[in-house]
Amino acid sequence: MNDITKRKGGLTGPPKDEVLRELCERKATLLLATPHLSFESRFLERDGERLRVRASMGRELAMNTLSRQPLRIRFPWDLSMYCGSVRILDYEQEEHRRTLVISVPESLGEDEQRSAYRADRVGRSRGSLGSTGKGDPIIQPFNLENLSTLGAGVFLNGYRGLETWQPGMTVQASFELEGGTRFDRAARICHSSGPYLGLEFRPPLKEPDLGLVHRWVTARRNEAQRMWDNRDELRAQAAEAAKPKAAPSGMLLLSSDASLGAQIEHALESMHELRVVPAVMAPLRAAMAQPPLIVLLDTAGMGSEERRRARALLEAQPPGCPVLVLGRDPENDQGRLLATELRQASYLEWAPGKGTTLKILVQGLIRRHWKPE
């Protein structure tokens, strides 16, 4: 394919059309952003000057609120963020899909100039701000929006007391990054837009915090570079995912313990065929060619990093069915934590003597999820 390079003044005409074509083909992620809100979405298809994206909000919010505010699409391209102004044209709702129809932007341009690479895909990273002025201290939790070695973007949880956090003031920021990295730092609020604040680390980061943040951001930059370099493969995967799927059947156990598979099969009395594969991307992707009725996930010996990888694995290859997390160590809470982080996930502390409990739980999850519409 022809590579589209950055151009001064933005992308228009055929280069813009090529970018949008590729984004739609691989169903790339995007943000629908107003001055105060942002919604994650995906490109779906282009029809002339109409662009369809996945709707992650209800009809009323889309048509009565978002349509009255300046709206942009923001998306990663060539390890940068690009954007374009759009208008909401329609909202389409089918049985299993909600679609937002927006106008095709006249041009696409880089969203900002960056002095340091900023990681925008930050997962479940969060933190809190603490006031440093006179009076009673105020603690404000936030979700992390982006992070670099120079500063961060945060989205405040809740809409009360926003007047407390004004540009120019110094705050104490505590960060809990996905994967377990934590650090505290003084920062200056350099700009704000409703609940969104831009923070500049003041004074600049020094070791050991500088090394921690640099390694964390670099890992996400490397992953972004890998995805960019392999975007043709991602497009092929999207095309494969769009093909009609086989009817779901059987159960899938993600485990490297052969003895556990035998225990589960005995406990369920061959209720459904059980397939066992390790919790690794390639075997999981191959196994999902035959969609299961339920996925069982073994968490024996799991630590915080293994939990993060397991969640990333299932988020990258969504099973589309109930997930039952099996804990086998009552002293380890990682299984319970994972179950709370995954959508449609339940948890069971497994032991061979709990066969009846497992069977009842599995039957109920399958029946509830796959009940006739």
Whether 199 contacts 151, CB under 8 Å: yes
Cis peptide before 208 (omega within 30 of 0): yes
Q: 109 Cβ partners below 8 Å, 6+ apart?
A: 9, 10, 11, 82, 83, 84
pLDDT band at 242 (very low <50, low <70, confident <90, very high): low
- Report the CATH number at residue 25: 2.30.110.10
Does the structure show a pLDDT above 60 at 315? yes
d(CA 362, CA 31): 36
Query: Is residue 87 one of the residues assigned to a domain?
Result: yes
If asked whether residues 255 and 365 sit together in one domain, one would say yes
DSSP line for 301-329: T--HHHHHHHHHHHHHS--SS-EEEEE--
Query: Is residue 294 one of the residues assigned to a domain?
Result: yes
CA 177 to chain centre: 14
Query: Is residue 169 one of the residues assigned to a domain?
Result: yes
State the residue range of the domain holding 355: 251-369
Q: Using CB atoms within 10 A of its CB, is residue 74 exposed (0-12), middle (13-18) or buried (19+)?
A: middle
Strand-pair partners of 88? 102
The DSSP 8-state label assigned to residue 3 in this structure reads P
Q: List, for residues 85-96, the tens digit of each pLDDT value.
A: 999 999 998 877
What per-residue confidence (pLDDT) applies to 57? 85
Query: Is residue 132 one of the residues assigned to a domain?
Result: yes
The residue assigned the tokens 């009846």 is: 356
d(CA 63, CA 73): 16
If asked whether residues 216 and 300 sit together in one domain, one would say no
If asked whether residues 256 and 220 sit together in one domain, one would say no
How much of the chain exceeds pLDDT 90, in percent? 45
If asked whether residues 351 and 298 sit together in one domain, one would say yes
Find the farthest-apart pair of alpha carbons in the chain and give their distance in angstroms, rounded.
67
CB atoms within 10 A of CB 225: 12
Whether 201 contacts 150, CB under 8 Å: yes
If asked whether residues 276 and 316 sit together in one domain, one would say yes
Last residue of a domain, one of 110, 140, 164: 110
Dihedral of CA 373/238/226/277: which sign? Answer: positive
What per-residue confidence (pLDDT) applies to 121? 82
Q: How far is CA 137 from CA 7, 127, 129, in A?
A: 47, 16, 10
If asked whether residues 98 and 148 sit together in one domain, one would say no
Instruction: Give the tokens for residue 141.
Output: 């939790």
- Report the CATH number at residue 183: 2.40.10.220
Most confident of 5-19, 25-39, 236-250: 25-39
* Residue 359, H or E segment: helix 355-369
d(CA 55, CA 344): 20
If asked whether residues 49 and 101 sit together in one domain, one would say yes
What per-residue confidence (pLDDT) applies to 4? 55
Q: List, for residues 159-192, the tens digit of each pLDDT value.
A: 666 778 889 999 999 999 998 889 999 999 998 8
pLDDT band at 230 (very low <50, low <70, confident <90, very high): confident
Residue 311 zone, left/alpha/beta (φ > 0; ψ -120 to 50; rest): alpha
Query: Is residue 3 one of the residues assigned to a domain?
Result: no
The DSSP 8-state label assigned to residue 53 in this structure reads E
If asked whether residues 106 and 190 sit together in one domain, one would say no
Nearest to 241, CA basis, from 324, 319, 344, 309:
319
- Report the CATH number at residue 353: 3.40.50.2300
If asked whether residues 135 and 102 sit together in one domain, one would say no
Q: Strand, coil or helix: what is 256?
A: coil
Look at the chain and report how many structural domains it folds into: 3
If asked whether residues 268 and 361 sit together in one domain, one would say yes
Nearest to 147, CA basis, from 195, 206, 218, 48:
218
Q: Is the pTM of this model over 0.75?
A: no
The residue assigned the tokens 């041009």 is: 107
d(CA 289, CA 296): 17
Query: Is residue 121 one of the residues assigned to a domain?
Result: no
The three state secondary structure string of 225-282 is: HHHHHCHHHHHHHHHHHCCCCCCCCCEEEECCCHHHHHHHHHHCCCCCCEEEECCCHH
Query: Is residue 1 one of the residues assigned to a domain?
Result: no
Q: How many CA atoms lie within 13 A of 25 on its CB side?
A: 13
If asked whether residues 173 and 281 sit together in one domain, one would say no
If asked whether residues 269 and 365 sit together in one domain, one would say yes
d(CA 302, CA 327): 9
Query: Is residue 235 one of the residues assigned to a domain?
Result: no
